[in-house]
Amino acid sequence: MEDLYSRFGASSAKEEVHQAIQNLDKGIEHGSFCKVLPDILGKDANFLNVMHADGAGTKSILAYLYWRQTGNVDVWKGIAQDAIVMNIDDLLCVGACTDFVVTSTLGRNKRLIPGEVIKAIIEGTEEFCETMRSLGVATIFGGGETADVGDLVKTIIVDSNVSCRFPKSNFIVASKIKQGDVIIGLSSTGQTNYEKEINSGIASNGITLARHILLKNNYSERYPESIDDYFLESGGYRGRFDLLDSPLQLHKTLGEGLLSPTRTFAPILKEIFKNIETSKISGIIHNTGGGHSKVKNFIQNVQIEKNVVWEIPEIFRLIQQEAKIEDKELLKTFNSGVRMEIYCDDRSAIEIKQICDSYNLKTFKIGKVEACSEPSVRIQSGDRIWNY
């Protein structure tokens, strides 16, 4: 059965993308979280190269609506962070944790997106890179491209590309997740000691569903450029809320909650890799497209058993309530409060928790890995068990 997210023209698991690339070279190790290449840049057998391209997705449309409604151009700085973190935190999963080179690609409709927005995004990119450097994560902004493509783009697309050269000894291959591993979940919400504000945990996935389900129809009428013509003709936004409403306890407005910048785990993972040999870590999974079922794309002959022992943050429960979806779909579409998982032995798990505690980051022991004849993921939430 087609899930609710797909009915809004998006795919949480990106099945068609995986089919399109299935015959491409997988890099030096099939089953790694990102495609990793030999050291083409440095010609050193002890190093590897990795590149990742991603962006803020339709979160930029939320920023557009919030900016048009409030005039607050600084909201675009958070979008710049979203676009970078969605790359960097994928690279963390293969063991790359510093020496990042960031480039950006902005495609805008100049009629609706003025220079002040472009300026805020570029400034936000540089500010984020400076923050990472201050935390010991060398990150350099290498420039990028801004294209005026109004015939293609209704508002703006904010994408980034991050490249890195890292030691081969750090390489982590997710397909090596094995029986006996425990699963440590890193919280996507709360406030680490390197963040200025409380994070809602929403990140940059599932925003299409959240936007259509939560926002009032008057946004369709006032800003038709923010919605696909197909959905505009079939009724537009269908929710109960204005972006300035206050249905959340941790944020003054719904807009602030939905636009909470995606947290990076880079400073914490760098510290983990410094103190724990990466050979003791079987795999790291970034729960973005595909949410808590994503790990199934990488495992071999094991069953991932998870238990929702953490409290799912209010922003996800609000989306779930308004969309009328069960936990099974919520956990497949959103990180639901745990955006990164580390698979390791029990002793390493204790050390990881101690490091995360030092950054004021909550962790949860959310499951274990068992032997199985075929890859599978089973998640228990309350008295229900979901199979993926």
Over residues 6-34, mean pLDDT: 64
pLDDT at 119: 98
Average the pLDDT over 190-205 and give the result. Answer: 97
Which one-letter amino acid corresponds to residue 81? Q
Average pLDDT over residues 339-368: 98
Per-residue pLDDT averaged across 332-343, rounded? 97
pLDDT digits over 120-171, tens only?
Answer: 999 999 999 999 999 999 999 999 999 999 999 999 999 999 999 999 999 9
Q: Which fold, 4-234+236-387? A: Phosphoribosyl-aminoimidazole Synthetase; Chain A, domain 2 (3.90.650)
Distance CA 256, CA 236 (A): 22
pLDDT of residue 1: 33
**CA distances in angstroms from 250 to 204, 208, 209, 244, 338, listed in the order given:** 19, 22, 21, 14, 17
- Least confident stretch, 10-24, 106-120, 292-306: 10-24
Percent of the chain with pLDDT over 90: 90
pLDDT at 318 over 60: yes
Quote the mean pLDDT of the chain. Answer: 94
- Is the pLDDT assigned to residue 11 strictly greater than 60? no
What integer is the mean pLDDT of 289-299? 95
Predicted local confidence at residue 28, as pLDDT: 81
- Whether 374 shows a pLDDT value over 80: the answer reads yes
Q: Quickly state the pLDDT bin for 10 (edges 50, 70, 90).
A: low
Locate the domains of the chain by residue range. 4-234+236-387
pLDDT for 22 equals: 58
The model's pTM is 0.93
DSSP 158-213: EEEEEEEEEEGGG---GGG--TT-EEEEEESSB--TT-SS-B-S-TTSSHHHHHHH
The tens digit of pLDDT for each residue in 56-97 reads 999 999 999 999 999 999 999 999 999 999 999 999 999 999
- Give the pLDDT confidence score for residue 351 in this predicted structure: 98
pLDDT of amino acid 159 = 98
- Range 332-340 average pLDDT: 97
Q: Do the Cβ atoms of 378 and 305 come closer than 8 Å? A: yes
Report, as an integer, the average pLDDT of 12-16. 56
Tell me what pLDDT residue 234 has: 85
Digit-coded pLDDT (tens) for 218-229: 999 999 999 999
